[in-house]
Amino acid sequence: MTTTRRPPTRNEQLQQTILYPVDWLEERSGLVGGIRYFLFRKVPGDINWFQTLGSATLTAFIVQALTGSILAMYYKPDPNSAYPSIQHITNDVFAGWLVRGMHRWGASVFIILMFLHMGRVFLFGAYKYPRELNWIIGVLLLAMGLGEGFTGYLLPWDQTAYWATVVGINLNGTAPFLGPFIAQFLQGGTYINADTLPRFYAIHMLLIPGAIFALIGLHLYLVIRLGVTSPPWSKEAAGTGTMIPSQNGGRRGLTRPSTRRRSP
Amino acid sequence: MAASERIVERRRVFQQYKEDVRERGKPFYPFAMLHDTIMSLVVVLVITGLAIVWKYTTPGDHQTVEPGWLGRLYDEPADPGTINFVPRPDWYFYFLFYLLRIFKWPPTVVIGTVGLPTVLLILLLALPFIDLRSERRLSRRPVAIVAAILVVISMGVLTYKGATAKEALGTELLALVPSWAQQQGFENNEQALAGARLFAVAGCLNCHTYLGAGGTNLGAPDLSAEGAKNKGIKFQVDHLACPACVNPGSPMPSFSGLGKERLQQLAAFLEASKGPK
């Protein structure tokens, strides 16, 4: 069959112009296809609200990263000026109290959400084959999160912060073999000294967050690659072959199908 | 079921899962994503709400250290020379903080500080390799359910106990000094009396107990009869200046910030504490 080439209509020309940057990006990176795959990948129809805890944890982490970056613009990691800089942020900087408050309380919310998310995965048995590796990455993320809590607690350089950290470092020091080395590394010396605060600051805002970003990337990659599990009590759980085909483009599970009769 | 059969079976189930989802699942966008978005908004609102409550319930002009509903905006500036309160970590470390009251140091403190957390971490990491069955229904996983309930209860109890751990206030303890002097018989020892007053206000009793006063944070020992061990003034001064140098592994902080003279007074007080008559 032969087709005669006709010149593109005005509409088609417009469309091509608009899509040109998207096509350009896709041709060189495949990113557009990746995003499309991420958004339109299929998930089991019966997933429920408990399965939003993971993305809620991610949101809490993003809040920490953003508020932390803003705090870093005003905070001074030096024993003489740390405390005044915290006062300055809280009392003088525009909305400084809000950013600092969100960082302070966001930390607790982040930790609570990590535990809830972990509890959900445990109860759903979602750590089982083939998702073992993602469970391990999650446990590492929990440990990193607690490390952020420990190192961040010192930064206001007030009495609570200082003495809790002194005791915390001494506790690390009680570990057999490695303990004294860990304590010395954390303090930057045999005692807490002027180098300890910048050291905690660097660990708190560079070392651990970098590791957390990398691990979250892996975590999400595995979630997308392996898919999310159906709730174990579901009568139509994916993997049992009893799944009911989705109607209306998948309006089931989280968004229940309307029981009202549709108008013809 | 033999191990090889189990491997074949779980591969089959996962293939079935992929097929089920591909053919009969729903797209992530917009269905699941809507709920993720709603949940994320709730998280941001809760965090913002906490920050607002933290600030607006704090009395005064925020230059003060008065606590509001959610605690102080900040404490007094750090002062390496004094402790006059219990060193308290953030709430998610309370369980660890309380474990240290259960395990008395020095021989067993390492169980509380390092042993248990390490064992817990290893158990968590190894969980997928301990629980190899592919069963996910809760009614058929009694061990998992019991373990989960035990972990939640014990963490809850330890956190609560840590949060309500007894604190000792320096000013109240100062009033006990004459009674200590009388019971221990050092009323006429000026050095020991000065040391006793320091002992009351320098925070020693946040972790140690003395004649019934003080807390037992970190499982520190009772000092009522410390002098009966006759370790000598020099040992006591050295130990106060650097506990871990004299007693490796001790979690006690250094008190060298108090200065040589005060350490001498504290040492005199400890050596004069031969136990109540």
Q: Is residue A25 one of the residues assigned to a domain? A: no
pLDDT tens, per residue, chain A with 264 residues: 556 678 888 888 898 899 999 999 999 999 999 999 999 999 998 888 999 999 999 999 999 999 999 999 999 999 999 999 999 999 999 999 999 999 999 999 999 999 999 999 999 999 999 999 999 999 999 999 999 999 999 999 988 888 788 778 877 776 777 777 888 888 887 777 788 899 999 999 999 999 999 999 999 999 999 999 999 988 888 887 666 555 544 444 444 444 444 444
- For residue A212, the model assigns a pLDDT of 98
Measured between beta carbons, the chain A residues lying within 8 angstroms of B143 are none
- Do B17 and A227 make contact, defined as CB atoms within 8 angstroms? yes
- For residue B83, the model assigns a pLDDT of 56
Give the residue from chain A lying closest to B54, CA to CA. A101
- Give the integer Cα–Cα distance in Å for A167 and B87: 7
Q: Is residue A32 one of the residues assigned to a domain? A: no
Q: Domain of A70?
A: 49-226
Cβ-based neighbour number of residue B156 at 10 Å: 11
- Give the integer Cα–Cα distance in Å for B202 and B85: 9
Which of B47, B52, B88 is opposite residue A164, by nearest beta carbon?
A: B88
User: Chain B: nearest CA to A30, how far in angstroms?
Assistant: 19
Which of B28, B76, B134 is opposite residue A43, by nearest beta carbon?
A: B28
| Mean pLDDT of the B142-164 span | 91
- Do A39 and B27 make contact, defined as CB atoms within 8 angstroms? yes
Q: Is residue A192 one of the residues assigned to a domain? A: yes
- Do B148 and A166 make contact, defined as CB atoms within 8 angstroms? no
Q: Is residue A257 one of the residues assigned to a domain? A: no
- For residue B117, the model assigns a pLDDT of 84
- For residue A60, the model assigns a pLDDT of 98
Which of B24, B39, B74 is opposite residue A52, by nearest beta carbon?
A: B39
Name which of A40, A46, A50, A52 to mutate to probe chain B: the one with the most chain B Cβ atoms within 10 A of its Cβ. A52
Give me the percent of chain B exceeding a pLDDT of 70.
86
Measured between beta carbons, the chain B residues lying within 8 angstroms of A131 are 128
Q: Is residue A79 one of the residues assigned to a domain? A: yes
CB proximity list for A161: less than 8 A, separation 6 or greater:
A153, A154, A155, B75, B78
- Do A159 and B90 make contact, defined as CB atoms within 8 angstroms? no
Lowest mean pLDDT among A29-43, B148-162, B254-268: B254-268
Q: For residue A158, which phi and psi values (nearest 5 degrees)?
A: -105, 180
- For residue A259, the model assigns a pLDDT of 43
- Go through the domains of chain B in sequence order and give each one's CATH number: 25-77 (no CATH), 170-272 (1.10.760.10)
- Give the integer Cα–Cα distance in Å for A210 and B158: 32
Q: Is residue A164 one of the residues assigned to a domain? A: yes
Tell me which H or E stretch contains A42. strand A42-43
> CA–CA distance from B106 to each of A208, B218, B255 (Å)?
31, 10, 19
Measured between beta carbons, the chain B residues lying within 8 angstroms of A232 are 136-138
User: Chain B: nearest CA to A197, how far in angstroms?
Assistant: 12
Give the residue from chain B lying closest to A91, CA to CA. B62
Measured between beta carbons, the chain B residues lying within 8 angstroms of A137 are none
Give the residue from chain B lying closest to A239, CA to CA. B17
Give the residue from chain B lying closest to A165, CA to CA. B89
Which of A42, A63, A132 is opposite residue B21, by nearest beta carbon?
A: A42
Which of A132, A229, A251 is opposite residue B128, by nearest beta carbon?
A: A132
- CATH (domain of A206): 1.20.810.10
Residue pair A207/A148 in contact (Cβ under 8 Å)? The answer is no
Name which of B13, B16, B17 to mutate to probe chain A: the one with the most chain A Cβ atoms within 10 A of its Cβ. B17
Give the residue from chain A lying closest to B97, CA to CA. A168
- Give the integer Cα–Cα distance in Å for A263 and A29: 45
Q: Is residue A68 one of the residues assigned to a domain? A: yes
CB proximity list for B134: less than 8 A, separation 6 or greater:
A128, A129, B6, B9, B10, B13
What is the residue type of B140?
R
| Mean pLDDT of the B10-25 span | 89
Among A8-17, B19-28, B31-40, B112-121, the range with the most confident prediction by mean pLDDT is B31-40
- For residue B261, the model assigns a pLDDT of 87
Alpha-helical (H) ranges within chain B are 3-24, 33-56, 94-102, 109-110, 116-130, 142-163, 170-174, 177-184, 190-201, 233-241, 243-246, 260-272
A139 touches chain B (CB under 8 A): yes
Q: Is residue A9 one of the residues assigned to a domain? A: no
User: Chain B: nearest CA to A137, how far in angstroms?
Assistant: 9
Which of A149, A244, A250 is opposite residue B27, by nearest beta carbon?
A: A250
Give the ipTM of the model, two decimals please.
0.86
- Give the integer Cα–Cα distance in Å for A53 and A171: 32
Q: By three-state DSSP, how is residue A43 classified?
A: strand
User: What confidence tens digit (pLDDT) does each residue in B77-104 have?
Assistant: 887 766 555 667 888 888 887 777 676 5
- For residue A143, the model assigns a pLDDT of 95
- Give the integer Cα–Cα distance in Å for A141 and A103: 18
- For residue A258, the model assigns a pLDDT of 40
pLDDT at B224 over 60: yes
Local confidence band at B106 (pLDDT 50, 70, 90 cut-offs): low
Q: By three-state DSSP, how is residue B217 classified?
A: helix
- For residue A116, the model assigns a pLDDT of 97
pLDDT at B165 over 80: no
CB-facing half-sphere around the CA of A16: CA atoms within 13 A:
6
What is the residue type of A14?
L
| Mean pLDDT of the B215-234 span | 82
Quote the number of domains for chain A. 1
- Do A164 and B249 make contact, defined as CB atoms within 8 angstroms? no
